[in-house]
Amino acid sequence: MTESERLLTKTGQDELVYPQGDDWNEVEGVILRRRSVRNYQDKQVPENVILRLIEMGRFAPSAGNSQPWKFVVIRDRQMIDEMNDFAQKMAKIFNFLLNWRTSPIGKKLAMLDSQLMIRLQPNILAPVPFGAVDLLATGKLKLFHNAPTVIFIMSDRRGVGKPQVDVGIAGQNIVLAAHSMGLGTCWIGFIELLKYSRKWMKKLGVQYPYKMCEAIAIGYPVGEPDGLVERETQAIYWHEDGREKLLY
């Protein structure tokens, strides 16, 4: 059995959804084996490699080819450490106010605060990311995981259609290209914490029409973290020749 056959999704009738017998091509292999990396070597990525990655991002498709993004590259270790320190301070504040399990303001009040904020920020304060807030606050997790290079991607509010979707596509180009070059990457959504600092907004050049969207940590991974990971199979609704079938 080929690697492809071992990974293929099955239907309820134990029939393979995709054709048997073909191995994944080079692009598919990069997509399937890439993992988020949170442990990097103390080794900087060459400047020309970072520029190549940004070029891959620049060639991503965007609505009307509007390219509603701006890239900001941070390779200054002191600056990265200072941003991490600020993020940790903000995480401690959120933990104090919202973490009902540990907050000294009392379980009931913290729970009421958290329920209110979850409704105001449903994505940011979902259980998975909020669990990471506690790790940031206690210093068990660093904002950029000690990566030597961080690429911030700003989205242009004037972009056509949905600029944030276009930014995500550009970022995915960067992440996949980095993996193909033997680099590790990790999407960093917690740069949201930096928005509470005028200093960092100014230093990162976040001003109209741009707003901070995402960041990507990049470096040489420690060990070999890449590999195939099982994922939940989602139902696929398939319409063809006037008929509908459901694939699992």
**CATH code of residue 62:** 3.40.109.10
Judge whether 217 and 185 are in contact, CB under 8 Å: yes
Is 143 inside any structural domain? no
Whether the pLDDT of residue 3 is over 70: the answer is no
Q: Is the same domain home to 237 and 125?
A: no
Report how many domains make up the chain: 3
Domain range enclosing 236? 3-31+229-247
Q: Are 219 and 75 in contact (CB under 8 A)?
A: no
Whether residues 124 and 240 fall in one domain: no
Are both 174 and 194 inside the same structural domain? yes
Domain assignment present for residue 240? The answer is yes
Q: Are 149 and 75 in contact (CB under 8 A)?
A: yes
Q: Does 224 fall in a domain?
A: no
Q: What is the mean pLDDT of residues 216-228?
A: 93
DSSP 178-189: HHHTT-EEEEE-
Do 93 and 206 have their domain in common?
Answer: no
Asked, for residue 91, whether it belongs to a domain, the answer is yes
Residues 207, 178: one domain?
yes
Same domain for 215 and 233?
Answer: no
In the structure, what pLDDT confidence band is assigned to residue 194 with cuts at 50, 70 and 90? very high
- Whether 160 maps to a domain, the answer reads yes
Rounded mean pLDDT, 195-210: 93
- Using only C-alpha atoms, what is the Rg of the chain? 21
The pLDDT confidence band at residue 8, using thresholds 50, 70 and 90, is: very low
Q: What tens digit of pLDDT does each residue of 71-106 get? A: 999 999 999 999 999 999 998 887 777 665 565 555
Instruction: Quickly tell me which residue has 């492809």 as its tokens.
Output: 4
Per-residue pLDDT tens digits for 101-129: 565 555 566 566 566 666 666 666 666 66
Cα–Cα distance for residue pair 81/200, rounded to 1 Å: 13
Pair (26, 41) in one structural domain: no
**Do 154 and 242 reside in the same domain of the chain?**
no
In a domain, 243, yes or no: yes
